[in-house]
Amino acid sequence: MKNYEKYKKLYDWKKPVNRTWPDKEITEAPTWCSVDLRDGNQALANPMTLEEKIEFFKYLVKIGFKEIEIGFPAASETEFKFTRYLIENDMIPDDVKVQVLTQARKPIIERTFESLKGAKNVIVHMYNSTSVAQRKFVFRKNKEEIKKIATDGAELLVEYAKKEPETNWYFEYTPESFTGTEVDYALEVVNDVLKIWYPFLKTKPIINFPATVECSTPNIFADQIQYISENILDRDKMIISIHSHNDRGTGVATSEMGILAGADRVEGSILGNGERTGNADILNIAMNMYVTGVDPKIDFSDLQEVKKIYEKCIKMPISPRHPYVGELVFTAFSGSHQDAISKGLQAARKNPEEQWDVPYLPLDPADVNRQYEPIIRINSQSGKGGVAFLLENEYGYEIPKEMRQELGYFIKDVSDKQKRELSSQEIYEAFAKEYINRKDKMSLVEFNMKTKNEDAINLEVVLEINGERITKSAEGNGPVAAFTKILKEMGYDFEFKFYTQDAQEDEEREGEKANVITYIEIEHDGKGIWAVGKNENMVRSSLKAMVTAINRILK
């Protein structure tokens, strides 16, 4: 590629003296703050309507967010009205803080406080840009002048908050474009803001460090956060928050490493909606914790609902491969993956008290209201395990291990011929047509079995072969042996190789007798031929399996 020399590193990298974050693990959830209704919403071509914002807000409360940025009330009438709506309709639970964004300018701050009259717990989130580029091109101000915007704003927040002592005030300051700001300068600005807020606030001030634009690998951001954490004024009296965007596709990793480096709080949005490539995806970060045994403290146990509300209010498509939520997340196309998943799931079902360890499935779909059915789709690359898994889980056939290979090849062949993936229904239909109760050439019309003595029975069968009925009988130590004798006497040449029966569990037949499924393999011309019989009667089920095998030889 040409032109790479045109670009330079944007970050000012501060390495902590004693770097500790790489050795850490995430062991508890940070404080989460959803910015779906502000950063996320402002990035939509069609921002949410009042009704949609209300619905989304209720959902965020329901799943456990305690800090929710509801908008930028001074920026538009809709945002102002929404803030008033929540307050006047008493929709903000006592344990939830709503957060509003404001620039560090007097008229904006004034209007922001106007929108908050009567609220119980509020985080006023003030920001101004501190980066080199913004100072130079946008504000044309030097470092001191930019810092003064922040400190003047900080004083105004105190002034306006004093007029409303009924409200519990929480303050947040963001040096916007932090990733393009010299780290020591950012520290200087936030420390001066803290000096103004500490004497007034009863609550811990929040200082938020955004990767407004992601411009480094996440480890650089983590170094910066550790350095800040070690040098910020009275660290234990304040809260370090982080707010990453996703320009390099590493918003989640940046937030995770930021937590390791000392951040107490994470701002982001569900599924990462936000400016440009979006914000850090809180669901992704939270679920990453969940699958390592850490309680994320947000309830994402219904991912179907997440998807529904996202599609309704945000109106953006979700990638089928989006972590945890995408349509294909619990699907395996590869045969070897399917086989391993099927074995892993069987083991998990047998020992539900054991910790989850299923190959290729980092998460039990049932824990997030996803289902087992769509886990495996069969296409021409699918192996034996996938087909057997599907027939067992969706149709109650426990295909014997020994039969799976032949069946796998058979289904693969059907898929190859169709040149497409087969649905589970199509797989079942192909299996049933080829293997179960066949009567295309020969069929069992009726049978009669009489006990001769302790060790022998006499079996009489009426068969229809190519439209002609014949009656035959033979003795044997059981119906299978007797029928084998009859068939051999009729000239069918085969050896019996495998026989098993089990009862089919079928919820739809509740109260009725269960079907008995017989699986047999015979050897004919040096080749194994599998067949399945299905009937409520054990003997009839066996005889039908044998008739099916003959039909398969005759084809």
Strand-pair category, 456-465 with 468-476 = antiparallel
Least distance (Å) between residue 380 CB and ligand KIV: 47
Question: Restricting to residues 378-407, which ones interact with Zn ion according to CB under 5 A?
Answer: none
**Residue 281 in contact with Zn ion, rule: CB under 5 A:** no
- Which has the closest alpha carbon to 198: 236, 241, 160? 236
CB-wise, 101 or 442, nearer to Zn ion?
A: 101
User: Minimum distance from CB of 408 to Zn ion (Å)?
Assistant: 50
**Which residue lies nearer to ligand KIV by CB, 243 or 552?**
243
Q: How far is the CB of 300 from ligand KIV (least distance, A)?
A: 23
> How many of the chain's residues bind Zn ion (CB under 5 A)?
1
CB of 244 to Zn ion, least distance (A): 8
- 370's contact among Zn ion, ligand KIV, none, with CB below 5 to 8 A by partner kind, is none
| Residues in contact with ligand KIV by the rule CB under 6 A | 39, 101, 127, 174, 176, 208, 210, 212, 243, 245
Residues 551 and 433: their CA atoms lie apart, in Å, by 12
DSSP code at position 130 = -
Q: Which is nearer to Zn ion, 274 or 408 (CB)?
A: 274
Site string for Zn ion, 36-65 (x = CB under 5 A): ---x--------------------------
Q: How many residues does the chain have?
A: 555
Shortest distance, position 383 Cβ to ligand KIV, whole Å = 47
Nearest-approach distance from CB 222 to Zn ion, in angstroms:
19
Identify which of residues 174 and 288 has a Cβ nearer to ligand KIV in the complex.
Answer: 174
Residues in region 286-345 near Zn ion by CB under 5 A:
none
Which residues have C-beta within 8 Å of that of residue 346, sequence separation ≥ 6? none
Closer of 245 and 540 to ligand KIV (Cβ) = 245
Which position has the token pair 């670009």?
7
Site of tokens 């639970």: 93
Residue 69 Cβ vs ligand KIV, minimum distance, rounded to whole Å = 9
Q: How far is the CB of 127 from ligand KIV (least distance, A)?
A: 4
Are 481 and 502 in contact, with CB atoms under 8 Å apart? Answer: no
What's the start-to-end Cα distance of the chain, in Å? 61
> Quick one: 209 or 389, whose CB is closer to ligand KIV?
209
CA proximity to 302, closest of 268, 325, 273, 270: 325
Instruction: Say if residues 444 and 463 touch (Cβ distance below 8 Å).
Output: yes
x/- binding map, residues 1-40, to Zn ion, per CB under 5 A? --------------------------------------x-
Q: Where are the alpha helices (DSSP H) in 419-471?
A: 424-435
Q: Which is nearer to Zn ion, 39 or 223 (CB)?
A: 39
> Exposed, middle or buried, 502 (CB in 10 Å: 0-12/13-18/19+)?
middle
Nearer to Zn ion, 210 or 408 (CB): 210
| Residue 174 binding: pick among Zn ion, ligand KIV, none (C-beta 5-8 Å cut-off by kind) | ligand KIV
Kindly state the smallest distance separating residue 111's Cβ from ligand KIV, in Å. 17
Q: In the complex, what is the shortest distance from the CB of residue 166 to ligand KIV, in angstroms, rounded to a whole number?
A: 27
Residues contacting residue 121 through CB under 8 Å, at least 6 positions apart:
92, 94, 96, 97, 98, 167, 168, 170
Question: Cα 261 to chain center, whole Å?
Answer: 26
- Separation of alpha carbons 178 and 180, rounded Å: 5
Residue nearest to Zn ion (CB): 39
Q: Could you tell me the smallest distance in angstroms from the CB atom of residue 243 to Zn ion?
A: 6
| 325 interface partner picked from Zn ion, ligand KIV, none, CB below 5 to 8 A per type | none
Long-range residue pairs from 393-401, CB within 8 A, at least 24 positions apart, any chain: 394/424, 394/428, 395/428, 396/504, 396/505, 396/506, 397/431, 397/504, 397/517, 397/532, 398/502, 398/517, 399/519, 400/498, 400/500, 400/519
CA distance 351 to 203: 48
Interaction of residue 176 with Zn ion, rule CB under 5 A: no
CB of 43 to ligand KIV, least distance (A): 10
Q: Quick one: 39 or 339, whose CB is closer to ligand KIV?
A: 39
79: partner contacted, choices ligand KIV, Zn ion, none (Cβ within 5-8 A by kind): none
- Tell me whether residue 274 or residue 335 sits nearer to ligand KIV (CB atom): 274
- Partner touching 176 among ligand KIV, Zn ion, none, CB below 5 to 8 Å by kind: ligand KIV
Nearer to ligand KIV, 30 or 476 (CB): 30
242 pairs with which residues across the strands?
Answer: 209, 266
d(CA 352, CA 485): 47
- Spatial distance between the Cα atoms of 132 and 372, rounded to a whole number of angstroms: 52
Q: What is the C-alpha to C-alpha distance for residues 123 and 173, in angstroms, rounded to an integer?
A: 10
Tokens in use for 292? 């390592």
Q: Which of the choices ligand KIV, Zn ion, none does residue 41 contact, using the CB cut-off of 5 to 8 A by kind?
A: none
**Smaller CB distance to ligand KIV: residue 255 or 518?**
255
Which phi and psi angles does 94 have, rounded to 5°? -60, -25
Q: Is the dihedral of CA 195, 197, 202, 203 positive or negative?
A: negative
User: Measured between alpha carbons, how far is 171 from 483 in angstroms, rounded to an integer?
Assistant: 86
Residues of this chain that bind Zn ion (CB under 5 A): 39
